[in-house]
Chain A
Amino acid sequence: MGDRRYTETHEWVDVEDGVATIGITDFAQSQLGDVVFLELPRQGRKLSAGETFGVIESVKAASDLYAPVAGTVLEVNERLVSNPELVNKDPLGEGWLIKVQAEGGLPDSLLDQAAYARLAESGSH
């Protein structure tokens, strides 16, 4: 497991051997409520950091998903097609969204665990 980093838009990224696994945070899933479905990119799509790569739609609202890092999509979590609730139940584990072959380093704008915890704390009030 690498060192997990966070965006201000509530995605997380964990890079290991150049492969970035991307998901949404526990705070994000709790704010969204029950996830109904996701639109995720096709394998092979090139993403730039900060680009919209999909949409997550919950009972409450639809939200865009933003790429924490640049790279090429290697794999999409197919289990979410029939089990979108995995995003609610295990957002940091089985509810991951995509894996990306990362290109370039991690953007400086990404937050560490402590900084993200402060952001989520201030956003929940």
Chain B
Amino acid sequence: MVDFAGWEMPQQYSSVREEHAAVRGAAGLFDVSHMGRVSFRGAGAGEFLQGLVTNDIAGVGPGHAQYNLICNQAGGVLDDLVVYRLPDGSWSAVVNASNRIKDVEWMRAHAGSGVEVLDRSRETALLALQGPRAESVLARLAPGLDLGAIPYFGVAEGEVAGAPATVSRTGYTGEDGFEILLPAARVGAVWDALLEAGAVPAGLAARDVCRLEAGLRLYGNDMDEDTNPYQAGLGWTVKLDKGDFVGRQALAGVRERGPDRVLAGIRCGERTIPRHGAGVSRAGDRVGVVTSGTHSFFLGAGIGMASVTAGAAPVGARIEVESRGGAGDGEVVKLPFYRGSVKTAASARQSG
């Protein structure tokens, strides 16, 4: 078990190889209850959120979710999150564990008197069932839910193994799958039932490999408050024409000038693992730094993301990555490294 933002988290249950293979080939089950769950109450909740996040939530109808960012006034990313509109029209969000307290304070500071921000992280739990067989596994335990009718980033409510649950077709692995929000008191029994139905328990280490292969950013590694969305390759989540929101002015400036650095996918040989913080050079000149990296057993290569000077390392460029005892060769590649069974060609774009 490892400490993660104050939570005791399983790094691995069996091995990264086996757990990763289960996610890519069948169904893996992650307990992601460390992530923050926030509900918004009040008639002005939608309007409040629209002024808080970068993406345009005007088009998010009941039963749908959306990947989003919260930025500060300077345009730095405070967090990435998924905003949910539940079937009853109410709003909630899932945020990163390490940012939960900061996010809730920020939200409360920006909420008007008509909006209440409720931190529901203690009373609820969150499971992520991911993989090409996720739907068939979940279907056995949720006969009342029409899972096939839930689109990518769709949200439904019903019972899972007898427990009241909010089920969304979202995830952080590049595979098809669901995230299941349920009362904390019920999570043990539902976890056991999902394993009984064929899911394989998977830990944080396998989750990190899956999300990296899928090109998904991890807050705190690939972006932070000193990174704007364009530098993180997440400009597509910023809708400057939706009306005012926190950070809009600064982000409009970045958009006009263009980001000074960008996030690049890097692929190394099978004996080089790009590690967080390692320098990246091209023809001997330093061009950036690795933000996340791992070894992908699946691809037989070291893979990672690096923050590089804009224009200095385009796709196809040969690079060198600092590694133990020297430098390993690599190449700048387009993200993602791997497209799994995720329902949309636009690939999974969810939060960590």
Chain A residues within CB distance 8 Å of chain B: 33-34, 36-37, 55, 57, 59-60, 62, 85, 88
Docked CA distance A117–B175 (Å): 41
Q: What is the CA–CA distance of A16 and B273 in the complex, to the nearest angstrom?
A: 37
Q: Which of B15, B271, B324, B325 contacts A34 (CB 8 A)?
A: B15
Those 3 A-B pairs whose CB atoms lie nearest each other, nearest first: A34-B16, A36-B295, A62-B324
Report the separation of the CA atoms of residues A115 and B209 in the bound assembly, to the nearest whole angstrom. Answer: 36
Residue of B nearest to A88 (CB): B15
Q: Report Cα–Cα, A55/B270, bound state, in Å.
A: 15
A59 touching B294 in the complex, CB below 8 Å, given contacts A33-B11, A34-B15, A34-B16: yes
CA–CA, A33 to B297, complex, Å?
A: 13
Instruction: Tell whether, in the assembled complex, residue B270 and residue A37 are in contact, meaning their CB atoms are under 8 Å apart.
Output: yes
> Does B240 have its Cβ within 8 Å of any Cβ on chain A?
no
Q: In the complex, which residues of chain B have a beta carbon less than 8 angstroms from the beta carbon of A33?
A: 11-12, 15-16, 205
One digit per residue, 1 when the CB lies within 8 angstroms of any chain A CB and 0 when it does not, for chain B 200-242 equals 0000010001000000000000000000000000000000000
* Bound-complex Cα distance A96 to B324 (A): 23
Q: Which of chain B's residues 309-323 have a Cβ closer than 8 Å to chain A?
A: none
Main secondary structure, interface of B, reads loop
Instruction: Pick from A37, A57, A60, A85: contact of B17, CB below 8 A.
Output: A85
* C-alpha spacing A15/B15, complex, angstroms: 30
Whether B324 lies near A55 (C-beta < 8 A) is: yes
Q: Closest residue of chain A to B19, judged by CB?
A: A34
- Once bound together, how far apart are the Cα atoms of A62 and B271, in whole Å? 11
Asked if B271 and A59 sit within 8 Å, CB to CB, the answer is no
A-B contact pairs, 22 of them (CB 8 A): A33-B11, A33-B12, A33-B16, A33-B205, A34-B12, A34-B16, A34-B17, A34-B205, A36-B273, A36-B297, A37-B270, A55-B324, A55-B325, A57-B273, A59-B205, A59-B209, A59-B294, A59-B295, A62-B273, A85-B15, A85-B17, A88-B15
Q: Which residues of B contact A55 (CB under 8 A)?
A: 324-325
**Which B residues from 284 to 306 make CB contacts under 8 A with A?**
294-295, 297
A34 partner residues in chain B, CB cutoff 8 A: 12, 15-17, 205, 297
> Hey, which chain A residues are within 8 Å of B297, CB to CB?
34, 36
**A57 — which chain B residues lie within 8 A by C-beta?**
271, 273, 295, 324
Q: Which residues of A sit under 8 angstroms from B294, Cβ to Cβ?
A: 59
Known A33-B15, A33-B205, A59-B295; 8 more pairs at CB < 8 Å: A33-B12, A34-B15, A34-B205, A36-B295, A37-B271, A55-B325, A59-B273, A62-B324
Question: A59 to B303, alpha carbons, bound, how many Å?
Answer: 11
Give Cα A55 to B323, complex, Å: 12
How close is B22's CB to chain A, nearest CB, in angstroms? 14
Question: Chain B, 242-285, contact with A by CB distance < 8 Å: what is the 0/1 string?
Answer: 00000000000000000000000000001101000000000000
Complex formed: what's the CA distance from A36 to B324 in Å?
14
Most buried by B among A36, A59, A88: A59
Q: Which residues of A contact B325 (CB under 8 A)?
A: 55
Residues of A within 8 A of B205 (CB): 33-34, 59-60
Chain B 17-33, CB within 8 Å of chain A: the 1/0 string? Answer: 10000000000000000
CB closest chain-A residue, reference B20 = A34
Expressed in whole angstroms, the minimum distance between the Cβ of B278 and any Cβ of chain A is 11
